[in-house]
A and B are shown apart, each in its own frame.
Chain A
Amino acid sequence: MNVFAAVLWKDLLTEWRSRDRIVAMLMFSLLMVIAFHFSLPGGATAETRHNAPGLLWVAYVFSAMLGLSRSFAIELDNDAISGLAMAPADRGWLFMGKVAANMLILGFVQLVTAFVFAIVFEISLAPALIGIVVLGSLGLCSVGTFFAAVSIRTRLREVMLPLLVLPFYVPVLSAASRATTSLIETGEVPFEPIQFLLVVDASYLIISFLLSDFVLDE
């Protein structure tokens, strides 16, 4: 459990010192919001507002992938990844530390993006959105961090991550978009997509916790 806190602290501290990942993710997701706005001409019509939550989650997914691939790329400097792999600690918790750090970084980006999104598409946000976002990004970050560790050791690196992880993101994207749409349109969160998200999150966490031994190597 100590290793969880240590890795979380290390990742947040490195990010705080450089701030390169968070700035890149934030700029990317804001640019995506603008790109969405211009790819749907006609301004904030009722139809665009109906589709907006799906677009918001697409922006989240893409900025998550951008940040996740960096999460292990920084460990390649000075071969820090070998140090991580050789640390006498449970790799499962080490991974969870990374997942938590990625979630916090992504969470900040998601928060800012949501506000800009609300302004651009003229939708009103409800506090319950935070709950959906937390559940959604737990799914994105758990399996994403796991495959980031795999893709960083392949020849194509950043190109490989989306190919590996996007099929696993579809269930998260589908359930989170449905929940967000319903929240924005009716003000209520239906139980069914939340239940689905919980099951998906739990399965992804268990898979990445149990198999993490095999994806970190010296």
Chain B
Amino acid sequence: MANPALDSVVASGGASRSVAALRISGGVLAIGALCWAWLVIDAPIDSRQGVIQKVLYVHVPLWFAAYAGFLLTALCGAMYLWRNDERFDRVAIAAAEVGVLFCTLGLVSGPIWAKGTWGHWWAWDPRLTVSLLLWFIYLAYLLLRSFTEGSTRTARFAAVYGIAGLGAVPLNYFAIELFGGAAMHPDNLERGSLGDGMGWPFVAGIFACAAAFVHLLIVRTDLETRRAEVDELEQDLEF
């Protein structure tokens, strides 16, 4: 018997559909990561901090990727509430998971640098505090998704929580300007504020993290799309 849902999956090319996109993003990531590693090794050693300063080329790009993840989560959440299109929700969950991953790596790489430069692993600096809150908020977002029943309700609640949590992102970025005072983090980087030869490894870091972000986002969104297709097929077979 003909099954329209099955036919549509077969017609769309099934598994092969996203492979091309993954190959491109994977290739860009591999080349980007190699260039990044090369440039970081080649970068000059900081006269005051020593070699530990090279964590900069990893730590800051990781945070930019985390910001991008949370921004996309909120944006797709808002689009879902507006358009009621499930595809936005799939990107939202993918972005949140990838964002939490980068945020975790940022929270791990930070203390390594801090121990070497500040002398201790953690300080209740405004940016550190808000970073930790940001991590907790989007971890709660993922928990909320797994504990809510019903796909439309899950998507709706998650969208609302993702939007509400986004407030912490600008608060984190501008934490030093806003709360200043006892901050351990330096002011935000401006063009030319890095030393000679330090600009390119930093740019390469941002590029490689962006490539990793896009690659993981495609993989995760694809997984979510397949999950939805399987659900649809199961429903079709039941009736």
Instruction: Assess A211 versus B136: contact at CB under 8 Å? Given A155-B148, A156-B147.
Output: no
- A160 and B143 contact, CB distance less than 8 A: yes
Contact of B144 among A154, A167, A203, A211 (CB under 8 A): A154
- A residues 141-169 touching B (CB-CB < 8 Å): 143, 146-147, 150, 153-156, 160, 163-164, 166-168
- B148 and A154 contact, CB distance less than 8 A: yes
- B163 and A211 contact, CB distance less than 8 A: yes
A contact residues around B164 at 8 Å (CB): 143, 146, 168, 207, 211
CB distance from A165 to the nearest CB of B (A): 9
Contact of B153 among A153, A164, A207 (CB under 8 A): A153
- A203 and B140 contact, CB distance less than 8 A: no
Instruction: Assess A160 versus B163: contact at CB under 8 Å? Given A167-B133, A215-B157.
Output: no
- B144 and A164 contact, CB distance less than 8 A: yes
- Nearest A residue (CB) for B80: A214
Contact of A153 among B129, B140, B148 (CB under 8 A): B148
> Would you call A217 an interface residue if the criterion is a C-beta within 8 Å of the partner chain's C-beta atoms?
yes
Instruction: Assess A214 versus B148: contact at CB under 8 Å? Given A164-B161, A167-B137, A167-B140.
Output: no
> Would you call A170 an interface residue if the criterion is a C-beta within 8 Å of the partner chain's C-beta atoms?
yes
> Would you call B156 an interface residue if the criterion is a C-beta within 8 Å of the partner chain's C-beta atoms?
yes
- A163 and B148 contact, CB distance less than 8 A: no
Q: Mark B136-158, 1 if CB is under 8 A from A, else 0.
A: 11001001100111000100110
- Tell me the complex Cα distance, A215–B157, Å: 6
- B147 and A155 contact, CB distance less than 8 A: yes
Instruction: Assess A163 versus B140: contact at CB under 8 Å? Given A203-B167, A215-B160.
Output: yes
- A214 and B81 contact, CB distance less than 8 A: yes
CB distance from B126 to the nearest CB of A (A): 10
> Would you call B76 an interface residue if the criterion is a C-beta within 8 Å of the partner chain's C-beta atoms?
no
> Would you call B159 an interface residue if the criterion is a C-beta within 8 Å of the partner chain's C-beta atoms?
yes
Most buried by B among A143, A167, A214: A167
- A164 and B140 contact, CB distance less than 8 A: yes
- A residues 35-82 touching B (CB-CB < 8 Å): none
Contact of B160 among A150, A163, A168 (CB under 8 A): A150
- Tell me the complex Cα distance, A155–B148, Å: 6
- Tell me the complex Cα distance, A168–B133, Å: 8
- A214 and B133 contact, CB distance less than 8 A: no
CB distance from A164 to the nearest CB of B (A): 5
B contact residues around A147 at 8 Å (CB): 161
A contact residues around B165 at 8 Å (CB): 167
Instruction: Assess A150 versus B144: contact at CB under 8 Å? Given A207-B164, A214-B159, A215-B160.
Output: yes
Contact of B157 among A153, A155, A163, A203 (CB under 8 A): A153
B contact residues around A153 at 8 Å (CB): 148-149, 153, 157
Q: Interface on A for B, CB 8 Å cutoff?
A: 143, 146-147, 150, 153-156, 160, 163-164, 166-168, 170, 203, 207, 211, 214-215, 217
Q: List 12 A-B contacts (CB under 8 A).
A: A146-B164, A154-B147, A154-B148, A154-B149, A156-B147, A164-B161, A167-B133, A167-B136, A211-B160, A211-B163, A211-B164, A217-B153
Q: Interface on B for A, CB 8 Å cutoff?
A: 81, 129, 133, 136-137, 140, 143-144, 147-149, 153, 156-157, 159-161, 163-165, 167-168
